[in-house]
Amino acid sequence: MAQSYGYARVSSKDQNAERQLIALKNFGVEKIFIDIQSSRNFDRPQYKKLLRKLKPDDVLIIKSIDRLGRNYAEILEQWRIITKEKGASIVVLDLPLLDTRRYKDLLGTLVADLVLQIMSAFAQIERDFIKQRQTKGISAAKARGVKFGRPPLKRPENYPDVRDDWLAKKISARQAGKLLGVNPQTFLKWIRADKV
């Protein structure tokens, strides 16, 4: 018996998938897979689990095409895998023309393929614009003196003694890190900074 599955994705924990979930539930989807991961690749655990479950005549429902990803070639590839290899249908709620249940004839397939290619291209263009704006924003912020990342850790008072013991090969970097309350990589980073 054919099953219906929903797929929702947000890029980070700061984002909320609620809008997607409401749309999927309003469509009548009960089994929903959710990933909190960037669309840069398809290495997403819930998406992979969903693909394993999809059988011929099952239906995958997504809110918008960019939930699959924003890379033109990858979206087209995933569409092919789902519709051709798996034999499942796809419904894109934001684009009724992208409902492969309805358009099984040659003309319908042609229209759906054209719309898919156009929308996938727009999704990639949007992603490129976002990246470009983000790069410009970061550059502008740096020019204003904004610092990114965590502030550097202050070295504990016992750092000189621990460093000297490490330099004398009395202790390992791991032991030095423990004595200082930091990880060994931080300790070694401090050592490298001292040599500069």
Active site residues: 11
CA-wise closest residue to 16 among 63, 85, 69: 63
- Pair type for strands 89-92 and 59-62: parallel
- Output DSSP code: residue 81: I
Q: What's the start-to-end Cα distance of the chain, in Å?
A: 68
Tokens of 150: 């965590």
Q: CA 130, CA 123: separation in Å to the nearest integer?
A: 11
The alpha-carbon radius of gyration of the chain (Å, integer) is: 25
Report in angstroms the alpha-carbon separations of 121 from 8, 28, 67, 127.
20, 29, 14, 10
Cβ–Cβ < 8 Å for 92, 62: yes
